[in-house]
Amino acid sequence: MKKSYVLIAVSMALVQGCATAPPYQPSSYGSGYSDVSIDIHYSTYPDLVRIPGYPVYYAPRVNSNYFFYDGLYWVFQGDNWYASSWYNGPWGRVGYYEVPVYILRVPVRYYRQPPSYFRDWRADAPPRWGDRWGRDWEQRRSGWDRWDHRAAPAPAPLPAYQRNYSGDRYPRAVEQQHTIRSEYYRYQPREPVTQQYFRPRVQQDQQRQQDQRQQEQRQRDQRQQEQRQQEQRQQEQRQQEQRQQEQRQQEQRQQEQRQQEQRQQEQRQQEQRQQEQRQQEQRQQDRRQQEQRQQDQRQLEQQRRQDQQRLLEQQQRQLELQRRQEQQRQREPQQRQQEQQRQPEQQRRQEPQRQQEQQQQRDLERQRSQPESRGKARDDKAAPQDQVQKDKESKQEYERRQKEYEERYRNR
């Protein structure tokens, strides 16, 4: 399992590395005759100055990134490197992987037209080609920026014979350039990319064809390797899907088993709860019955006590009644005697009042029975209304007292 995961990770890393690396640009230097227009034209031979500590020359008065190394002129423009055996071309593009390391090691300050992404880089250090051209280039060209300055090779001699060929005398044909160079320039280059420019055309064609076949073979090998990796990934993916499916099925069976066990457990818990509920209801019913019996017993006891209390109270009332009756029988002779003594005195006190009331009644009846004269009638009409009301109230008071007196007299 772990081994398959490691293989998958390595395959993904390879695919990602191929995807992130810049596309491989095959060199056109192999033919030695390809004419790439880079919009650089020099009518005279440029002044070249050696870079201190490097076997490389640069053109300080040229408005381009122009260098000379190992018998070839080098130009960096549009994120590509171009090379030529003559100072004004024709130029051939050189791939990222074939550029000589000493050209790559040239510090940033010697680029007369540096790209915009050079701005944040140190001027005394070479450009960060690995950051620009990707991780695959960095792996294949590892160690390009580590070298001993004291072990640097001697610079190639400048082709000064080309100063005589300027303007209209400049050779345009590649065969003519090769012939002149073979006659005046005996330097033997070290770099493979430079050696291609110094070979005859037949050898260059053969080398180009051989490089092309090698490139095609590498591409076929790469496609086969990618196909095998793809098949391996697919197989591992199918195995992984099969394992995942088996794992899902196993998890599903385990889940179903857990669900069944859970249902059984819930059923047992429900039965247990029902049993506990029935037991609790039974206990509650027994407790209610016991409480009812206790309550009935308390009520009976309370009723018995109440009956006893009522019987006792009844006996006490009877005794009290008998006692009061006995006291009443004992007080009756004395009360009759006292009443008889009070009656003459009371009659004596009430007699003046009774006589006065009778006199008032007789006067009132006499006044009503006498005829009234016309003048008196007028006087009566003119009498105040409140006198009539007072007479009426006096009569009602007399009648009431008369009734009270008669009532007291009957009660005696």
Answer for the pair 158, 137: CB distance below 8 angstroms, yes or no.
no
- Alpha carbons within 13 angstroms on the beta-carbon side of residue 115 total 10
pLDDT of res. 140: 92
pLDDT digits (tens, 9 = 90+) for 159-178: 999 999 998 899 988 888 88
pLDDT of res. 24: 41
Answer for the pair 161, 184: CB distance below 8 angstroms, yes or no.
yes
Q: Which residues contact 151 (CB under 8 A, 6 or more apart)?
A: none
| CA separation for the pair 30, 209 (Å, rounded) | 9
pLDDT of res. 378: 52
The confidence band for 395, taking pLDDT boundaries of 50, 70 and 90, is confident
pLDDT of res. 22: 45
Answer for the pair 14, 229: CB distance below 8 angstroms, yes or no.
yes
Tell me if the pTM is above 0.75. no
Task: Using the structure block, give the residue that is written with the tokens 């007291």.
Answer: 408
Q: 3-state class of 67 per DSSP?
A: strand
CB atoms within 10 A of CB 24: 14
| CA separation for the pair 250, 247 (Å, rounded) | 5
CA distances to 380, 383, 392 from 389, rounded to whole Å, are 13, 11, 5
**Strand spans (E) along 5-131:** 49-50, 57-58, 65-69, 72-77, 80-84, 92-94
pLDDT exceeds 50 at position 33: no
Q: Which residues contact 55 (CB under 8 A, 6 or more apart)?
A: 69, 70, 102, 152, 153, 154, 155, 156
pLDDT exceeds 50 at position 32: no
DSSP state of 251: H
Task: Using the structure block, give the residue that is written with the tokens 């320039």.
Answer: 185
pLDDT of res. 385: 66
Partners of 92 in beta bridges: 83
pLDDT mean over 380-406: 73
